[in-house]
Structure 1
Amino acid sequence: MGKDRSSDDFAAFVDAVGPRLHNFATMIAADGHDGEDLLQTALERIWVRWQSRPPSEPYAYARQVVLNAQRSRMRLRLNKSEFPMDFADSVDESASKDVGLEWEDAALDRDVLRSSLRALSPHQRNVVVLRYLEDLAVADVAEILCCSVGSVKKNSHIGLQRLRVEIARAGVVAQDCEV
């Protein structure tokens, strides 16, 4: 009976935060298909933990699992010497729709944002997504990424500058956007 309950709880968790977690994974991966793969990997890992003992902060735990899975993927690519200098330009149309977060006010299209995020280093992308998409404080981002507050501030500043350049290259006016 315990397994049925944990299964139901996990299904309710995925229903509640699945779209938000999907959006987070897609932005961290900077690609729709890679984001879906990343989310699937993360949900598998979360399910294994959930069966024995559900986390006390499920979304924070899930976000950390997504980040760890992305780091593992990047390490594998580096070890195999297959790290792409330019990410594939595949676009996932379903992920470009608003999935639970309020981006209606933003002047940027999700596809433009996602392609612009590809220009950032993985660490800069993680910092920018956690700070501005997840709306976390600098100290919280530093704790999640296991780095200093100064590193978060520096990578946030450089990442935002580079993001603005990439968005301008895409031809989107980002004057009113808080990127």
Structure 2
Amino acid sequence: MVRDEFEAFVEAETPRLLGLAHALSGNPHDAWDLVQEALVRVGVRWRRLATENPGGYARPTLVRLNVDRTRRLRRERPGVVPDRVAPVVSDTILEPWLADALASLTPQQRAAVVLRVLEDLDHEGIAALLGCSAGTARTHLSRGLARMRERAAAREEVDAGD
């Protein structure tokens, strides 16, 4: 019975988690890794989480795993700064220009924008997931959205010129 409940949760939540992970990481392979690790952590705690909100545990876990992944990459490859993720060439979740615009953001800006737009979190919710103050989360979101608007305006200029 417990296994069936967990499998139903995994089947229902994987698409949403995958979309969030893909938007955060910018890479479908890293997204799957993040989702799998988050689901493993939910599975280990399933008996306790099943009666609570397992999705509410999985999403913040996924965001923290991505932050840890970015920090680890910085330590392991000091000359390579993963502040800019590579855009995804074949992207079924996001329009290519939007994936490129997200790829131009710092990891914190990207996470703030994704959490605001996809998860509808306020500044306090974003701050809690990023491990920073609400003011810092507000700054990441503001700068990220400003850069996204710049990219959208540049795209409109290119489209108008065609």
* TM-score bin (small chain): 0.7 to 0.9
- 1:87, 1:147 → 2: CA distance? 22
Matched, 1:35 2:31: yes
- 1:14, 1:59 → 2: CA distance? 10
Matched, 1:124 2:103: no
Higher relative CO (CA 8 A, sep ≥ 6), structure 1 or 2?
Answer: 1
- 2:26, 2:87 → 1: CA distance? 10
Structure 1 runs, 4 residues or longer, greater than 6 Å off:
none
Question: 1:25 is aligned with what amino acid?
Answer: A
1:121 deviates by: 0.8
- 2:53, 2:67 → 1: CA distance? 21
- 1:38, 1:74 → 2: CA distance? 12
CA RMSD, aligned part only? Answer: 2.1
Match of 2:160 in 1: none
SS in 1 for 2:49: coil
Point out the structure with the larger helix share. Answer: 2
Among 27, 45, 48, the residue aligned to 1:53: 48
Question: 2:126 is aligned with what amino acid?
Answer: V
Question: 2:89 is aligned with what amino acid?
Answer: V
Match of 2:14 in 1: 18
Question: 1:53 is aligned with what amino acid?
Answer: R
Structure 1 length-normalised TM: 0.75
1:125 deviates by: 1.0
Partners of 2:21 and 2:32 within 8 A in 1: yes
- 2:27, 2:100 → 1: CA distance? 8
Among 100, 116, 125, the residue aligned to 1:140: 125
- 2:83, 2:140 → 1: CA distance? 19
1:26 deviates by: 0.5
- 1:11, 1:91 → 2: CA distance? 31
Partners of 1:33 and 1:92 within 8 A in 2: no
Q: Number of aligned residue pairs: give it.
A: 154
1:87 deviates by: 3.0
- Equivalent residues in 2 for 1:49-128 (5 A)? 49-50=45-46, 52-54=47-49, 56-81=52-77, 82-84=80-82, 86-93=84-91, 96-97=92-93, 109-128=94-113
Matched, 1:152 2:148: no
Unaligned runs of 5+ in 2: 158-162
Structure 2 length-normalised TM: 0.82
1:158 deviates by: 0.6
Unaligned runs of 5+ in 1: 98-108, 174-179
